[in-house]
Amino acid sequence: MPISRVSIAILVLMLIPIAAGARDGLAIWDSRCEECHGDPDVFAGNYLWVIDGQLQGQHHIDNLSLFMGNHYIPDHEIEAIGDMLQARANSPVRFNTECGGCHGDASDFVEQSLWVSRGGVTGLESGMEVSEFLPTHQGLQPEDVVFYRKLFARLGGKPLP
């Protein structure tokens, strides 16, 4: 009789979902999202952005976790996917796609053309803070300026708050 109680206890423990931190967001994406949404780098670059440290998208801008929960993602996996997508939304893929034709690779551009400090990101050629320069460049919108300024700071090794 004691062996059956131990067996039942083990089976019950095996049924408890794994914590989100223990799951790899990319593995979850590959098993649940990739078939419809494709590569996470391309998806994040096209449809997501990070503003004030929050991952945002076209749906449920203020609460992307709510959208993911309504999009067949179990609660215990939302954080792992969100963290993975947030890292990719801040990746150089968007820069390389939108700006690479003129400016080359994002990392090389930052290294050769910008001075990054804890206080901001300044163009070496213009001497201007990129938040002042970018709104005059190629019709960039305010959310684009925020995205690129944070991307440049991160690539320069001094992420902005």
Q: By residue range, what is the domain housing residue 102?
A: 95-155
CA–CA distances in Å: residue 114 to residues 105, 122, 129: 13, 6, 9
- In whole angstroms, give the CA distance from residue 83 to residue 114: 28
Rg (CA), the chain: 21
Q: Do 78 and 122 reside in the same domain of the chain?
A: no
Q: Do 83 and 115 reside in the same domain of the chain?
A: no
Q: Do 82 and 139 reside in the same domain of the chain?
A: no
Is residue 9 assigned to a domain? Answer: no
Average pLDDT, the chain: 82
Q: Do 99 and 76 reside in the same domain of the chain?
A: no
Task: Provide the token pair at 99.
Answer: 């700006």
Phi, psi (degrees; rounded to nearest 5) at 2: -60, -35
Regarding predicted confidence, which is higher, 148 or 11? 148
Q: How high is the pLDDT of residue 4? A: 62
